[in-house]
Amino acid sequence: MSYAVSTVSLVEKARKGPGWLTVDRRSINVFGLSRNRMIGFSLLTGPGSYRLELVPAEQGAEGDALTLLQNLMPKGQFERPAHAIKAANLSLWPKLFGDRFAFLQIDDEDMADLVGDHLSEEDSWLRARLLDHPKLAMNILAEIDKLAGPWGGWLARGTDFFWFYENGRRLPLRLVGGELINVATRTKVARFAAPDIVEQLANRSLVPNLFLMFLVLSILPGVRALGGSHQPVYFPLMRYVLYRALEAAGGDSDLRHALATDDIPGAWGHRVIECDVDPFELIRNERTCETSDIIDRFRNMPLTEACGRMTSFVSDTSWQELHRRLQEQVITTADTEWAFA
């Protein structure tokens, strides 16, 4: 099962982001969108009309791999870019891996439905503790604010529990006096109460943020999360924030005990495992059996070998800054935040 963040921008920097793909070392515009239609818009932009165009950024950059990939992609129009990405993965997966094991991709629309289901149940933990117990919600936000100094950049208060979508753009909200307020216009978007939030989750004007996703999919059910090179820091910080907020609010001793005693709540792996096999070469040659061989090879490979040079860590500016703070003892390995890793 894979969770794909769909609140991310289509383009994060020049020719990078989910709106772009690299094939044979060439940049490919996934949806064939102009720069103006990508900057400031996310995978959940819509409703509209989007196709998997796979257009080379430069003329004459077409090749056999790109042609084959275009032929493998599903045709037709999609209401949102996220829908097209899901359809593409569903089409490609059996061609790469056969029926050996299934692939389930969920994104933030699925999370909106899941959180909506939780909040529709009057006796659910999420509704009773987060919405009907305002002290806990405010405690969580206060604990996140405290991390802005030494842990700045790892767990930022980008929005308060939900993102607001308006005219295809993702906008941050602030929880003030029991209401979710649009930061840009300072207008009320919704009451911080189940009826308002459930309705707006259903029409996609509200979408859960990353903290809520981890709370519902991993922390509450006790499911281990495998993530990218930033997760070893921000996920323990989320668990630390929740523990501190619960402690201040009182109650939930079982959940606090689980948070404090689980010594392997997550692991990293996404985009850090190095491989000398070009996946597009496998697609081009339709060598599905070799793809299965690669799975077996990684399954039997020690992690120290699979991670290669750990490029995603050593070349990352956030990790470099964390290393500097450790050297200067702005933070230390004895800090309580590390206890939740």
Mean pLDDT of the chain: 86
Residue 41 confidence (pLDDT): 86
Q: Residue 282's pLDDT is what? A: 57
The answer, yes or no, to whether residue 126 has pLDDT greater than 80, is yes
Confidence of residue 46 (pLDDT cuts 50, 70, 90): confident
Between residues 341 and 335, the one the model is more confident about = 335
| Angstrom distance (rounded) from CA 172 to CA 170 | 7
Look at residue 199 and tell me whether its pLDDT is greater than 90: yes
Query: Does the pLDDT of residue 293 top 70, yes or no?
Result: no
Q: pLDDT tens, 206-252?
A: 999 999 999 999 999 998 888 888 888 999 999 999 999 999 998 89
**Residue 163 token pair:** 């993102």
* Residue 264 or residue 205, greater confidence: 205
pLDDT of residue 81: 92
Local confidence band at 147 (pLDDT 50, 70, 90 cut-offs): very high
Least confident of 301-310, 311-320, 329-338: 301-310
**What's the confidence (pLDDT) of residue 216?**
95
Which positions ≥6 away from 79 have C-beta within 8 Å? 46, 47, 48, 49, 50
Name the more confident of 95 and 324.
Answer: 324
With a cut of 90, say whether residue 285 has pLDDT above it: no
What share of the chain has pLDDT > 90, as a percent? 46
Return the pLDDT at 193.
97
